Structure 1
């Protein structure tokens, strides 16, 4: 054995690249259909104590502070179960599980139909694109309809959600010590087990059933649909099928789906929804158009055109009078899709409002103060959650915005005050869950809304002196009782055992906090406003369908209604001079601004619009500002000295109030259903076959997945194997039981190659068969666990990694040509690496979120820093004086630092052109074997050079990319693929990896290239990102005696994301 030299070949470890193949698989299980586009909150909540209510068909899991919601959900779910399962002729084999959450100020529901689970946030929906309904009845019915209709449509059942075709292609490698190059082709494509477009999934869940229908074509939905029709911007049939739009566009997919499903039901009967779901489950169904034709006998495009014609005719007739007498004023703030909550300053010289500007989502607003005399604008805050208010002297603004809670990571709304003179923001509540503030006219009190467990109530904060308030260093602690919905200020509560099971701690500044209302019946309150003289507070409120306007004294007495009709009346405020009540009402079927004289009862319409008029504010000089929904967005309009409009000129839908549904109030069951402590429950094993083509061999395999119902534990694993018995095997375990997530990852890879042995003393190089086997295991923590500001800046991952790399040379023989003697060698097993490492990965991502963020981030940055200490024992030779433990190892103990910085800049005066800059750096602090080097070429480095052609202990490279849209709205569909956007980019790169000396620019390499990115959706809901890149090196390069000429390099991918950041570096086996 002393004759055998150390066999050392390089193979790419596919663990990091394989992650890109697995990403869409994980995304599939995170995907849900919901009442709104879902947001994801990644904070763990070990402080929660969970209980379970069990009914005949459901399990309802809830935590402290959500029992009321859980009891109502259990009752409503059983109430709607027979009608929904009956309509679709389908019932799940297992009980459907509801999870009730109230850890964020967020309202939504989400149906995880593969997991047989529904998540509901307890907060009631208050969304400017939706009317007000009975939230729990609506959301429970909506999400359960998702579960039934989508499971009915599954092709292979709930436990086989998809299959996968995957492909690796590799660079042609010139180095003799490299068996296989780095990947230059990456494909992971789903074969979906469901073919349901967004419009149908959301349409049927709003349509619900004839006997249990809690979602209606309210005036907001009608407004959004009407505006699209009359402006010629109705989403076409293809556009309705997928998300990926801005807030208005995504809502329009919901909205049009609802209207189109109603149209289909009118044409073919209510059971058409079940027939369509059943027709789509055919395994050969590639598009929903086929299901429509099969279920109705009419083509999808023909039905869509009939529906569109019907809408155009209907709205032309209904708007005929309004168009002749339209009164809307002139645009004041019309940039972007969301200009909201205007409020004129007390002196009439300025106006404050929120605006999305060029943002694609309504949550991306900014608080703007504009001078009405010279038009000067100033942005003072962002992500405002609701209405805003001026202090009486005009120096301060109060508003609320979501703020992470330090202890739990929850996102709660809190009140802030901005000092316009000092140009500084001050937080005045902490974890109070407060919004919609309004300042009293004497300047000494703020009234606002506080929510918990789906209940809302009015609270009053005594200020006395604003300057003293904002200079206050500490917050006064308070305790919100999670079941009684009252507050206490007694610090001794914290001395009680498990006090946090019953209270939520909050803080406030000021001289006192008073609870004005104590509504426990589900009554919702919105947008309080002080009346002139501060004698009472007006607000809009709801328990059924739509809103009314009520009043109450600051003491909590004398609650009464000002407006209490079947119509929707909302956003009350007062004329600063006359004292008249201004509000928005849909009594004609369209929201307009009205005024009401509270002394005489005289009511006047001040606008007559085709969209909708909301959020009025009047200047002392008599100029009306309001938010007008027009051309797919909210724009602030201005009317100077508005005049009354005759009622007959407002006609849209005659006798509209009598068309509004009459609903009973929703009250908590008494007594409630018994509950028991929650026990861990899993969704069952999901299995997904996969076919991987890897280095021109076929590797059949599979993925498996299971998740605990509260997301406390999670397992994802998979394997593949070819005929040569090369295999990839992995398992990922995550435990979200503590504040940081504990993870365990195990990877095992086996590869067989044919190599050439070099034998000392013999002029022969026989072929040998070698099996490489890599085992790597990681255990660690991830989350926001660093101290102080670091936790706000970075997501962190602390990991210990164990590596064990082995090889086996099969027995072989050869004939010595000199002596003609036969030599035979027995099999040889050896370990060539035992490694340990401890790493800390810090990631900061702050990218401007828009519809193009995946394909072309427009502004923001991404930063990652990886610090790693490694202890490796690496094979150096074989011993000749023993027959066991023959390996001779060399120790490589070193530190490794890697930095990746990406900066994205919008190119001025262009339409979504972006300049991106990337800087990568790395350093290993001591000399090491080439095995541990950085590699700087290939798909993730300098693309003009092969991956292994550039290496060293030090790495520095930069990339500059200019990217712009070639075709932003392709809106074409081929079979099951919807084509959305196409971008072109050009890039130049400059960098090097080296081991000795400092930075020598003369040794650096550069390349140029082009990149095409195509954004598509497959099967209506799988994001499918396709890229092609071509790169050309500007210099020849030599490494380890191998010359790399100037020639084009090409790369291709079909993945879930365009992002190819590899935070875990590649190793070799």
Structure 2
């Protein structure tokens, strides 16, 4: 039932600015989402063997609830190690499920509400809904009191109980698994992380795989199997399966590429080993999971469109020009297109190339089947259909004359663990037994079997030994603890068809109506400043606006601001006009206060920008026409008579081009590769004269692990020049170089811009020049990876790191000063406050060596937020 709280009048005043439940920690928000998808469907990640595998292997290693893995205070923000971002879903769901299993009877623990008792084992199922309702009326961030009032236990107790329950269940499951011989493996890669897919060259020299890790972004790797040397070839986005051509000269794989601002397409690429070069095979095809036929003439893959993923094939052509061979792909042909919302994946050619095996998920089922497409008959046959999950098929090397002689190895979860199964001659059997899990099986040219093997640290590639049949019934483990599906809530129409909803043309109404508003009231004796603001945007953020206004009874003037942004044509265009009072000078106090003078500022601007996004970089053209008129008002002697003593009007036009291709990793303390750059011009129109100010800026990132891993050299250069120098009056047209600003805690050293360049070591100093350049070299290095919080409190510590720098500000046309060198360093602590606000606390020492120009040594503290090159 609806309830009121102190938020109710606040919403009347401020609109939907305050949404208390949106301020939950991410693990609570996503944990409840996973719980609901498990509760109200017959599938859901809560029943997944994958989550169960994470917990089981951690319990087996004795690291559950330890700093070697994950503790409750590690959940509140980014966790750089495996399972990476998945931890908030897996562990958040576990906590929600633990609360739902609490039996408090028909009343909450505090006795304030009656609840319906859920099914056995989930008696407290309805506590979660009550928790959400009550949370919406509570002060955010303090999450323990709410769950304790409902269940009688706080989150620390629920976590401890879950750890005990999980350890006990894992112990029993591992005992069941170990009742049969456990498959032996030999690790090829080490350290876990997200290793996906394996491919071997026919000449036995190369092994390729994709890997995501805390130290590097998701990338394609190539290992020389004879020397063990491994090269990181290219950063890539998704895509796990790779395939070598039969001549072992080319490696084909898939990755996401950005084609438009809002379009990512999965396409096929290949790497030429001889040329050490990447080339593109397809464009805008949405192709994934490539495999190449034994004769090298065909490539198969999956394609997606119309909410369906099907099987496709195309011819491969090899063209040699000037001893350089390149691959090209012929016309795409969709050879099997399943029912809408179905999906196939991981296709593999048979050894004779006449059949293509693949995994097939039929919409509405919680299973996947192994099937094959016969290229001679154009028919699809299902060979494994047992109501379980079966995927990643591969073929044992050797001759095959028909489907009956194909020896197919695939992943199956029939025992509750992702093991390997074998299909041969119409019969399937379980052939591995592991306490972790297997994925992406693959044979090398000698017939040795490899697969990804799982530990709590993640996935590693391993050679599989002891390939023998296992009795499934002897090693089948218990099902993961999950809510009983609520059949009444699962929406199925009587005929089994999906429920259809009407499709209407998009309209901005009513979403464009104001969403947020706020009053503005300031009172002091003799003066009242009163007004308000409203803000709104439509559902797809094509239109947005802000309108604000207020009246000042002392100056008897109204301030206002109107801003509107539209991106319907692609670029974002913002139109804004505002007028406000500043620099009020008065004498006296209270009601006897006398107004002596004040400024009125009238500003208008038209801004256009359009980020052109590529897969790993962004190019942003920016233009803005800005006008500013400043009036100095001095009240006259006659009542109501006000004279304009002075007025300045200097419009200016900005034309900028920003470029960024900076790359990072999960353990990075800054960008580690690439650059951020900008070039632009500002043209001032001042009293009939034109002043043109140029800015060129470049910041490079050079990762160097020579002394410390993830340490980075950051060379930076910024140069600005104006066509003519002004020595008095409106000095904004000059190149302005500023030191650290006084009285500013937040970003006291702002970024470089057309307005001013910034130098270190010369606080409170400002220099005006016709041209100036600031060059620096920073060395940034990690000190301590923390990645822990204060229990469930909304403060999370990421990394402590340091930096040292050398810098010089140079004035090419300067007369009094040519060079202002400086150096220094500092310590920085990256944190997250209130669950989602990132900031850096920085303690720094800067030393300017030219004391005659204001240089000095100083220690100061500041809070930093990301501030790229700005205007």
* TM-score, length-scaled by structure 1: 0.67
Moved more, 832-841 or 434-443: 832-841
What is the correspondence of 1:443-842 to structure 2 with a 5 Å cutoff? 443-463=296-316, 465=318, 510-543=329-362, 544-554=365-375, 557-577=378-398, 579-597=406-424, 599=425, 601=427, 603-606=429-432, 608-639=433-464, 642-647=466-471, 651-653=475-477, 673-681=501-509, 682=511, 684-687=513-516, 704-716=534-546, 730-754=561-585, 769-784=596-611, 794-811=619-636, 827-830=642-645, 832-842=647-657
Secondary structure in 1 aligned to 2:607? strand
Alpha-carbon distance, 1:288 to partner: 0.9
Conserved 8 A contact 2:21-2:135: no
Partners of 1:471 and 1:665 lie apart in 2 by 58
Partners of 1:555 and 1:692 lie apart in 2 by 80
> Aligned match of 2:759 in 919, 930, 942?
942
Matching of residue 956 in structure 1 with residue 753 in structure 2: no
Alpha-carbon distance, 1:531 to partner: 1.0
Secondary structure in 2 aligned to 1:950? strand
Name 1:254's counterpart in structure 2: 89
Change (3 A) 1:858 1:719: farther
Name 1:898's counterpart in structure 2: 695
The C-alpha deviation readout for 1:762-795, integer Å capped at 9, x for no partner, is xxxxx99432233332213211469xx9997622
Partners of 2:74 and 2:462 lie apart in 1 by 30
The C-alpha deviation readout for 1:985-1012, integer Å capped at 9, x for no partner, is 34435333658458x9x73223344444
Conserved 8 A contact 1:624-1:642: no
What is the correspondence of 1:1033-1048 to structure 2 with a 5 Å cutoff? 1033-1038=848-853, 1044=854, 1046=856, 1048=858
The C-alpha deviation readout for 1:727-784, integer Å capped at 9, x for no partner, is 986554221111222222445443124499xxxxxxxxxx994322333322132114
The C-alpha deviation readout for 1:851-882, integer Å capped at 9, x for no partner, is 455x5333332112222222222xxxxxxxxx
Name 2:242's counterpart in structure 1: 388
The C-alpha deviation readout for 1:961-997, integer Å capped at 9, x for no partner, is 3333444225232885312224343443533365845
Secondary structure in 1 aligned to 2:598? strand
> Aligned match of 2:682 in 863, 868, 873?
868
Partners of 1:780 and 1:658 lie apart in 2 by 53
Name 2:27's counterpart in structure 1: 199
Matching of residue 299 in structure 1 with residue 154 in structure 2: yes
Partners of 1:975 and 1:206 lie apart in 2 by 20
Name 2:866's counterpart in structure 1: 1059
Change (3 A) 1:1025 1:793: closer
Structure 2 unaligned residues grouped into runs of 5+: 104-123, 400-405, 588-593, 741-748, 751-757
Secondary structure in 2 aligned to 1:338? strand
Secondary structure in 1 aligned to 2:507? coil
Change (3 A) 1:920 1:712: same
> Aligned match of 1:437 in 272, 290, 315?
290
Partners of 1:298 and 1:670 lie apart in 2 by 41
The C-alpha deviation readout for 1:654-702, integer Å capped at 9, x for no partner, is 6999999999999995895543322223254233659999xxx999997
Change (3 A) 1:376 1:870: same
What is the correspondence of 1:959-1038 to structure 2 with a 5 Å cutoff? 959-969=776-786, 971-973=788-790, 976-992=793-809, 994=811, 996-997=813-814, 1003-1038=818-853
Conserved 8 A contact 1:811-1:827: yes
Name 1:66's counterpart in structure 2: none
What is the correspondence of 1:339-354 to structure 2 with a 5 Å cutoff? 339-354=195-210
Partners of 2:479 and 2:726 lie apart in 1 by 84
Change (3 A) 1:720 1:356: farther
Conserved 8 A contact 2:784-2:801: no
Change (3 A) 1:426 1:550: same
Secondary structure in 2 aligned to 1:386? coil
Moved more, 283-292 or 393-402: 283-292
Alpha-carbon distance, 1:317 to partner: 1.5
Conserved 8 A contact 2:361-2:368: yes
Secondary structure in 2 aligned to 1:829? strand
Partners of 1:441 and 1:775 lie apart in 2 by 73
Name 2:48's counterpart in structure 1: 218
Partners of 1:243 and 1:683 lie apart in 2 by 34
Alpha-carbon distance, 1:385 to partner: 2.0
Secondary structure in 2 aligned to 1:675? coil
Secondary structure in 1 aligned to 2:204? coil
Name 1:483's counterpart in structure 2: none
Conserved 8 A contact 1:447-1:460: yes
Conserved 8 A contact 1:525-1:542: yes
Name 1:368's counterpart in structure 2: 221
* TM-score, length-scaled by structure 2: 0.81
Alpha-carbon distance, 1:260 to partner: 1.8
Partners of 1:794 and 1:390 lie apart in 2 by 35
Partners of 2:203 and 2:438 lie apart in 1 by 24
Change (3 A) 1:554 1:704: farther
Name 1:239's counterpart in structure 2: 74
Secondary structure in 1 aligned to 2:599? strand
Moved more, 948-957 or 520-529: 948-957
Higher RCO (C-alpha under 8 Å, 6+ residues apart): 1
Name 1:338's counterpart in structure 2: 194
Conserved 8 A contact 2:141-2:794: no
> Aligned match of 1:327 in 183, 188, 206?
183
Conserved 8 A contact 2:708-2:782: no
Name 1:402's counterpart in structure 2: 256
Partners of 1:1006 and 1:698 lie apart in 2 by 49
Alpha-carbon distance, 1:928 to partner: 2.6
Change (3 A) 1:698 1:917: farther
The C-alpha deviation readout for 1:633-653, integer Å capped at 9, x for no partner, is 2211123x5431533797251
Partners of 2:530 and 2:20 lie apart in 1 by 17
Alpha-carbon distance, 1:522 to partner: 2.0
Give aligned pairs, total.
796
Conserved 8 A contact 2:245-2:296: yes
Change (3 A) 1:683 1:563: farther
Structure 1 unaligned residues grouped into runs of 5+: 1-88, 93-150, 164-190, 474-507, 757-766, 814-823, 874-890, 1039-1043, 1065-1069
